[in-house]
Amino acid sequence: MRKLSLIGFSLLFISALIFVGCQNELNSPTAHHSDNYHLVKANSQIVGLAKDVNVEEWVDSESGGTLGGEATFGNYVIIPPGALSADMLLSFSLTVSNDGVLIAYVESADAAPGEHIYFENGKVSTLVVNQDWLAGYPDVAINIDTGEQYDIVPDANSFAAQLPHFSRYAWGWLE
């Protein structure tokens, strides 16, 4: 009987470790919608920097790519291989709205302004924002155009969200 209890406890403990270890993995976007959210303001120290954060890169559809990084002060977007329907010139920008909210967006010269760029075969891109650029700790990434909210994963110095298309995103917390 004692041996069965020990085995049961061991299985429970291992299951708990696996669950905790998997919480920080980005798998697929989890979209939900709630009207009870507030947008996180940009850190006041980066407002001047955010006016000039814009990078353009040619992204090969077969190999994917990363927009930003060091050139955008630790903010970037990862496009996985096979996510784009064709090679594209993409622009990644960060800006601060009139009310102080940090907004990240990706556009393409091959798409109409404001048009969403959807990914092929259910693939997703990962948006990573340097936590120093936000004045508060977010719960979700919010699509500014649709109000959809995507789970975030915090890291030591950043927040990441997997997104099903390029659009305009801000960060928010839920009530």
E strands, 19-124, are: 31-32, 37-39, 53-59, 65-69, 75-79, 88-96, 102-108, 117-118
- 144 vs 21: CA distance, rounded Å: 31
The confidence score (pLDDT) of residue 112 equals 66
The answer to whether residues 134 and 171 touch, using CB atoms and an 8 Å cutoff, is yes
Residue corresponding to tokens 């936000």: 134
Q: Which domains does the chain have, with CATH numbers?
A: 29-174 (2.60.220.30)
Query: In whole angstroms, how far apart are CA 89 and each of 32, 53, 111?
Result: 30, 17, 10
CB distance 169 to 107 below 8 Å: no
pLDDT of residue 13: 41
∠ Cα 61 67 73 (to 5°): 170
- 125-160 pLDDT, tens per residue? 999 999 999 999 999 999 988 889 999 999 989 999
pLDDT in tens, 5-61: 545 444 444 444 333 333 344 456 666 666 777 899 999 998 888 877 899 999 999
Tell me how far apart the alpha carbons of residues 31 and 3 are, in angstroms, rounded to a whole number: 44
Encoded tokens for 19: 């669950």
**Assign residue 83 a region: left if phi > 0, alpha if psi is -120 to 50, beta otherwise?**
alpha
Q: List helix spans (H) across 39-136.
A: 47-50
Task: Tell me the average pLDDT across 110-130.
Answer: 79
